[in-house]
A and B are shown apart, each in its own frame.
Chain A
Amino acid sequence: GLDVASYRERVRAMFYHAYEHYLESAFPYDELRPLTCDGQDTWGSFSLTLIDALDTLLILGNVSEFQRVVNVLQEGVDFDIDVNASVFETNIRVVGGLLSAHLLSRKAGVEVEAGWPCSGPLLRMAEEAARKLLPAFQTPTGMPYGTVNLLHGVNPGETPVTCTAGIGTFIVEFATLSHLTGDPVFEDVARKALKALWKNRSDIGLVGNHIDVITAKWVAQDAGIGAGVDSYFEYLVKGAILLQDKELMSMFLEYNKAIKNYTKFDDWYLWVQMYKGTVSMPVFQSLEAYWPGLQSLIGDVDNAMRTFLNYYTVWKQFGGLPEFYNIPQGYTVDKREGYPLRPELIESAMYLYRATRDPTLLELGRDAVESIEKISKVDCGFATIKDLRDHRLDNRMESFFLAETIKYLYLLFDPDNFIHNDGSDFDVVVTPFGECVLSAGGYIFNTEAHPIDPAALHCCRKRKEEQWEVEDLMREFYSRKKTKKFTLKRAPDRGEGENAKDPEDVSSEKAGEKRNSKKSSHSLLSCPSQSFNSKLAVLGQVFLDNT
């Protein structure tokens, strides 16, 4: 087999090679330019690479550097700047990065405030950054502009055309912010934007690539799962998991049906016209490679594996994934031959490895380490591959290389990392709002690979009423006479999706609660169990018709 430990150490060395050169040559600029050994601002002026790489430091176990950087950021980063920033990128990289660093800071040995995780300097920074984005959401539709000036709000004359992902990729960070700070405004704007997209889907249930946020007219009508749309679908699922929200899940399941119907061919996903469903581009995009990972989160592991294996063949052909790959021609697409060291395929490999332990997934990790080291390592860091056909390099190292690519690679080779905690370990934290169980696993990665602890969302503000209720119930446990009859209150059902009836109800409930079991249907918030043949679905073997 493959020596997992040695690859893990190689990934660690890759991280420090890039990280140290960033600090040395590029900080406080956003990104390192590896060919010229200097820095540049790309998405604002936030020392972006440092914010993005912060939680990777902890995942690699470097507690002291994490603590140092937390201090550096607190002193050095200022959001009161006259900069036009992408609402989407600022959210996923800056807000997401700061939130996850805030939630992990206790684990990293940072001295936290008494109110943690409901307060803290990093949380305040995240909130400040997020507030700078709020003006973008002031549109008739509730869908945000793509760009906002951090000082002045939306610039007059700003284009109202935003990509779908730029509208639907907020719920994870914003809901977390709202739950931690108690200010509902963030979650509200994020939900409103999601609903606006849902409302504007086509008759056949697809969404396009770009939309006018004022008129709600679709400007680019290509529907697919990749660039421009990707993280919208991702956040429907992750939002549903994080918030136990049936409505978001039912939206995703509807989209999933349409995607399967119209865009899926032979385990590839193509681009189609959103109203007619006709194929517009038979290409695979590097950004689409997140899809198998997402499928595995909701239990569609065998489809995920089949698609993953398709994507892996492209990697084997080039040593990376081109931005566009023409499937029928089996080659790159003109002007889209680059590979900026994107993480998506490795991300999927990590999720799938959790589910299947298939050594093929470790092989992809090995291939990624070998390729990136052989092709893109330069004296000053790791350079974007400008053209996969000849492996020419570009003078850029995107911040997601340290935030995502390295993180997922390391986690793939480190099955015992605390991030993979299956719930056997946990921390108990006493806050002014009560006692919380935290770090019990189930971390939700935002689309920039910043992990969010779902337990933290249940820790602040809303908890008091629930706690009193629990206390009452506990008293009941110890009283000899059961005084009350307990019936479950129906949860506010947000889902619109019609639930299929579950034929096999394992329960043998008594006549008393037939009322409940009668409408029993399988929950939207659940995964199917794996089929029998999944035992043998490793080393490239796939099985048909087990739906």
Chain B
Amino acid sequence: SCSRAKDVTMPAKVPVNFFPPRSPVVDLFRGQLDHAEQLRQGSEIVLYFFYAPWCGHSIAARGEIERVASSLSDQVLFVAVNCWWNQGKCRKQKHFFYFPVIHLYHRSFGPIEYKGPMSAVYIEKFVRRVMTPLLYISSRSKLLDFLSNYEPGVVGFFEFNASPQPPGYLTFFTSALHSLKKDYLGTIRFGVVTDKRVAEEISLVHSGSVYLHRHANTSLIYPKDIMNFTAENICKWALENREMLIRWLRPHGGKSLLLNNELKKGPALLIFIPYNPLEEIHPLLDEITKVALEYHKCNKSQAAEPHLQHVGDSDSPAFDPSVPDAHLQFSQTFPIAKYPCCNTVVLPQWHSISRTHNVCELCVNQTLGVKPNKVHVPRCNFLEIEAALDSFYLQEHTFFQVISNTIECSNFLSFYSPFSYYTACCRTVNRHFLSFIGSEKTIFQTPKVAFSSHGKKDNTQFSIPHIEDRNCFIPDLNISSTNITGLSCRTNKTLNLYLLDSNLFWIYAERLGASRSTHLKEFAAIVDLKEEVHYVLDQNQSLVGPTLENFIKNFSVLYSPLKRHLVDDPSVHSHEEHTVTEVTTNTFHETVFLSAKNVLLLYYAQWCGFCASLNHIFIQLARLLPPDSFTVARIDVTRNDLPWEFMTDRLPTILFFPHQRKEQSVKFPEDFSVNLPNLLKFILHHSSHSSSEPCTKECLQKESLLQQGHISHLEREIQRLRSEISALHQAHDQLEAQLSEARREEQRLQQQKHTLEKQHKTLQLHNEQLQATYDQKNQELLEMAEKLQELADASENLLKENALLRILVAARGGKLQSKDEIKEPLQSEQTLSEDNDISLSTAPAALEEKRIDNIDTIETEHNENRTE
């Protein structure tokens, strides 16, 4: 090939519009950063979208940015800059490691980088926060609203009637903007109060003071005397001291240890809800927040703060009537005093396999137990229940024996106080009936019992065993809600609470076993990384406050009724018939233990190379073994969890479960190579040896069945051999054909050889002839040469004669001169003869040359002959 094109190169294509021409986004696709800066001068809020045209993430984010721009373009300037084009200003000045990058400016403040999800609603929410970083709080009710939010709130109090620009206000405003830089999710909210009376609610007196609200711990006031009042300090202070009762988890998609770090802290409750940050109200989120607040409400005295009640049991519905309160219903139906304080207790069984349990309804009456320090309605305090439980478990043994379907009640004294006693009504139920206990609550007639409170407060070291709430499936009843209060401080199985937006992170829910069919993307799971277990809130229940509370409580108790969730592969359809039976979590027990066959089970994973290359061996095995007595099965353990005792730590693992001795499974020894003969030997060795028994009728029947199997096997074998024979025949025919083809070819070659030989002969003949003619020619030439030689000799003689003649002539001439000196014409004759002389002498030389030429040509001719 030619080398011309070797060094051909082509510069990158010139950039074109990235956004459509009519887009509300200004598209500087040649990377004109200077122009971008100019544009910024005229606008209060600017969003820069730095992109690379080849970048998939930029392309995916383009539509989202357009959506945000179309709803905010009247207030915000959207500028997209191609920061890849290497002749553009942007590329020369900025050095990005990824695209797209979003920067926001609030007047001169910026850039604030947006690092949240590339989804229009999230971006818009963030832009709006940059537009109004401070929320103006005008009234008491607004303040309570602001503070009741689950996200930490910072309130600044500035009196504007004294001066139009109260000292510190600008700093506070900047710190709000500044917080958005650090905390891209905007979890800390900043508000400003201008009314002195409103400020008093949170005991702010002086203008310029800043307050950080906390729910479970004491709220803080910014220590001006210790720290300088700067924007950065305020922001840092708020970030350090904020309270994280419940946290959003928003993995950014790149390599990150976020979940690792959070889950390593301990068991975590992950709650997945669909979340639209732009929506004004989030009833479900409020409900979850309430649970989180209750869960973390350790210090009782804190509960006295009035505004805390705003979220959950807002006893002042007059507050802010503009917001239709979704949880108003709860607060109205809160007749706690009418209900006795009861709890259902499930007693553990000695045999874990046993499917029955003793269930006891344990009650204390509160009518007499009014606590002087509590102003609110008397509640079923968890501490009290706990105390009752303490007493109850001291007597526990008496309740183990109860095995009846009727309810038996007994009263017993409190361990702590001689004046209080409790009632316990117990009965035995099957495990799966547990879920119906709630609906059977009428069975439990709770007698009124005198009760007096006791002062036991701190007993975190004391774990509270097996509480199964009676209301677990009746979410609209609120009795249980009190039990969770402050639970986080009293249990040694503290949960961290997290929220995930199921619009973005539903995949985690699916991984934890969320059903794929459900339309409602709500899901809750407790993940314990250390114990390698997770529990799932039954997806048939709606995700509301009470169910969550029950879930948390069930987790916290010592003998937790929660069962480790086993994720099952939904993509396997059990009705599909495969040669090798595909087992899942759900079909494991049935296929392996309940079937009356020998089962060979392969644990595998699709990604493991060592497993996949064995597929053909197991298929062959399944085809060989009689299907009515053997099952060859496999389970993909990446997609199917199994009970601990059936887990394996290496793949592939091969287990054999012999018929009738299923519990005595045998593992295929790992140091043997997995092939058909070895597997057969392994199975033969371990399958049941029934031959030792004496043969009865039944045995004969079995035997005949077996032999029938054998016959059909042999028939299959014959079939196989037949097809093999036919294959061999085919191959034979093919070979035959090839052979005859080869023979024909040979013949053809033979013929070719003959003709070639003939040709060779004629050529040889020709060659000889040529040789002969050559010799002949040569001879002739030699003769010619001889003749020429003779001629030359003759000419030499002639020359000599000529010279003699000249001498003669000269002698004659002399004589003539001497005789008659006057005769002129004789002289001219002499000159003529001299001329003759010269031409004669050159002739022989020319002849010589001609001869040499002749020989040369003959020689070359000869050479040519040879090469032919």
Contact = CB atoms under 8 A, between A and B. Distances in A.
Interface residues of A, number: 125
B38 interface: no
A493 interface: yes
B795 to A, nearest CB: 62
Contact of B55 (A316, A354, A509): A316
Nearest to A530: B638
Nearest to B730: A114
Interface string B1-28: 1000111111111000000000000000
Interface residues of B, number: 121
Interface string B578-596: 1110100000000000000
A533 interface: yes
A526 B651 contact: yes
B507 to A, nearest CB: 6
B726 to A, nearest CB: 8
A399 to B, nearest CB: 16
A374 B689 CA distance: 69
Interface string A369-411: 1110011001000010010011111110000000000000000
A403 to B, nearest CB: 21
A295 to B, nearest CB: 10
A131 B433 CA distance: 74
B724 A488 contact: no
A474 B723 CA distance: 20
A507 to B, nearest CB: 3
A264 interface: no
B831 interface: no
A392 B613 contact: no
Nearest to A369: B56
B574 interface: no
B613 A395 contact: no
Interface in A348-379: 351, 354-355, 359-360, 363, 366-367, 369-371, 374-375, 378
B256 interface: yes
A138 interface: no
Contact of A535 (B7, B260, B511, B636): B511
A525 B610 contact: yes
Interface stretch (B216-224, B677-685, B786-794): B677-685
Interface in B813-857: none
A470 B680 contact: yes
B614 A442 contact: yes
Nearest to B677: A469
Contact of B713 (A297, A474, A530): A474
Interface stretch (B74-82, B702-710, B750-758): B702-710
Contacts of B703: 480
Nearest to A242: B613
B507 A538 contact: yes
A410 B614 CA distance: 25
A8 to B, nearest CB: 15
Nearest to B60: A366
Interface stretch (B147-155, B401-409, B660-668): B660-668
Interface string B255-282: 1111110010000000000000000000
B253 A540 contact: yes
A526 B665 contact: no
A238 to B, nearest CB: 8
Contacts of B680: 470, 473-474, 477
Contact of B253 (A41, A360, A507): A360
B350 interface: no
Contacts of A242: 613
A432 B728 contact: yes
Contact of B671 (A115, A505, A521): A521
Contacts of B618: 423
Interface in A93-117: 113-115
B615 A435 contact: no
A204 interface: no
B610 A375 contact: no
Contacts of A542: 255-257, 260
Nearest to A118: B731
**Residue among A359, A473, A536, A538 with the highest chain B CB neighbour number at 10 A:** A536
Given A520-B669, A539-B505, A473 B650 contact: no
A319 B59 CA distance: 13
A391 B53 CA distance: 12
A36 B864 CA distance: 47
Contacts of A527: 605, 607-611, 650-651
Interface string B53-81: 11111011000000000000000000000
Interface of B, secondary structure class, is: mixed
Nearest to A244: B673
A210 interface: no
Interface stretch (A155-163, A184-192, A305-313): A305-313
Interface in B698-736: 703, 706-707, 709-710, 713, 717, 720, 723-724, 726-728, 730-731, 733-734
B529 A532 contact: yes
A440 B650 contact: no
A313 B665 contact: no
B732 to A, nearest CB: 8
A478 interface: yes
Nearest to A304: B607
B616 A426 contact: yes
A543 interface: yes
Nearest to A386: B9
A313 B59 contact: no
Contacts of B606: 354-355, 422
B12 A392 contact: yes
Contacts of B46: none
A481 B258 CA distance: 63
Given A114-B731, A521-B671, A540 B256 contact: yes
B605 A299 contact: yes
Given A491-B672, A506-B655, A423 B681 contact: no
A242 B584 CA distance: 28
A327 B709 CA distance: 66
B652 interface: yes
A516 B685 contact: no
B8 A36 contact: yes
Interface in A431-450: 431-432, 434-435, 437-438, 440-442, 444
B182 to A, nearest CB: 21
B285 interface: no
**Residue among B55, B612, B733 with the highest chain A CB neighbour number at 10 A:** B612
B530 to A, nearest CB: 10
A487 B681 contact: yes
Interface string A2-26: 0000000000000000000000000
B360 interface: no
B119 to A, nearest CB: 12
B664 to A, nearest CB: 6
Contact of A470 (B505, B613, B671, B676): B676
Contacts of B362: none
Given A317-B98, A506-B667, A359 B684 contact: no
Nearest to A453: B616
A486 B608 contact: no
B615 A371 contact: no
Nearest to B728: A432
Interface string B613-646: 1111111100111100000001011100000000
Contacts of B620: 437
Interface string B90-119: 000000111100000000000000000000
Given A395-B10, A480-B703, A532-B529, 6 more contacts: A113-B731, A238-B609, A297-B609, A363-B56, A371-B54, A526-B670
23 contacts: A38-B1, A40-B1, A113-B734, A244-B613, A299-B651, A363-B56, A366-B56, A389-B86, A394-B9, A422-B606, A424-B578, A426-B619, A430-B727, A432-B727, A470-B677, A477-B680, A481-B691, A486-B681, A487-B681, A507-B667, A526-B610, A534-B638, A536-B263
Q: Which 10 A-B pairs have the closest CB atoms?
A: A442-B612, A478-B710, A507-B667, A423-B615, A355-B607, A455-B616, A367-B56, A309-B255, A532-B532, A391-B12
